[in-house]
Structure 1
Amino acid sequence: MKKNILISALIISFVFIGCAKRNDSLKGFKNTNQSPMAIQYTKKRDLIYNGSLKVMIFGTYLNKISKKYETDKLDSFVVGIHIKNQENHDLVKNRFRVTLNNDKPKTMVKVSNDSDIVEIIPLKNQWADYYLIHFDNKKDVTELNLRIIHPVYGSVSLNFQK
């Protein structure tokens, strides 16, 4: 008798587990045709200061994942920044500098979190501010070192291959 109750309980458990809501732990990732390349050309780094996380930085090299930015004239990136415990994540107002192989950006424009360019990147933070950043393309350079520098928290490097 106990065996039958145990078997019945197991069968009912399996039925309910099979009907459970799916896990949404990966909902930040979207399944698009560009995802494999976008994941390869997206990096995340943290700025740690005095043992505490201060800033999360996300960067995606656009030349390899979007036909719109596939050019020999510019190296294009979308960079997201989230400063912990702060409402203002503005790069300039918070004294951040961005360089590519020690060169300053040609242009840097803040973009909306729901813009097309932010939509194609696979790793997003809904509280971050995003910037479309262009640098002059140096044809002889194959390794790209995107650095985000803060005068107090230090710097991080996001390295990409052309």
Structure 2
Amino acid sequence: MRIFFHTGIIFIVISLFSGCARTNAFTRFDFSKVKERATSSLRTSKINRGDQIYGVFSSVYLNEVIPEKYNGMEYFYITIYTKDGAKLFDPNLLDKRKMTLRLNGKLPVKIKKLESGGKFEGLIPLNNNWNSYYLVAFDEDDSEKLSLTLQSGYFYSQPLIYRKGEQ
């Protein structure tokens, strides 16, 4: 009887300590460096219309994610979802009824509407057909702190804050 008791205790102790393995759930994921940096760079804000939530606005600062390709200007991959499907204002089209995106108070220089599932797929975890996707470029900003905001005459987002060299 004593042998069974000691064998049982030894088995329990071995089981407890062998359960402390060097792997966890995240070791099974195979993230590339670009995906890791994009996840770290992802910022999201609700778009408010008074006291109501009007949509969601997310961005990835591409200068920190893919610096060998995106440099010389301030580049962002943007996703926007609004209840009524409002589109981003392009200063080159002079349509002031749409949403404006500003970086430290300045309008973008270039806006390119992208299709879902393009070359940036996977940088933002949620890709679907009801979001709008954009590649947006601003003139280079000397400030270390970048504040990206989205607004219209009747709604706004909280600023998405980036610090250069944070990655």
**Residues 1-162 of structure 1 correspond to what in structure 2 (within 5 A)?**
31-71=31-71, 73-84=72-83, 86=84, 88-92=85-89, 95-117=98-120, 119-126=121-128, 127-138=130-141, 140-162=142-164
How many Å separate the matches in 2 of 1:157 and 1:70? 22
Shift of 1:50: 4.0
Shift of 1:89: 3.9
Asked if the contact 1:100–1:146 (Cα under 8 Å) also holds between the matched residues in 2, the reply is yes
Q: CA RMSD in A?
A: 2.2
Structure 2 unmatched ranges of 5 or more:
1-28, 90-94
1:102-145 deviations in whole A, cap 9, x for unaligned? 1111101101111102x14133241210110001112x311101
How many Å separate the matches in 1 of 2:99 and 2:30? 29
What's the secondary structure of 1:70's corresponding residue? Answer: coil
Q: Percent identity?
A: 21
The size of the alignment, in residue pairs, is 129
TM-score, normalised to structure 2, is: 0.68
Structure 1 unmatched ranges of 5 or more:
1-28
Letter in 2 for 1:160: Y
Letter in 2 for 1:75: E
Between Structure 1 and Structure 2, whose CA radius of gyration is higher?
Answer: 2
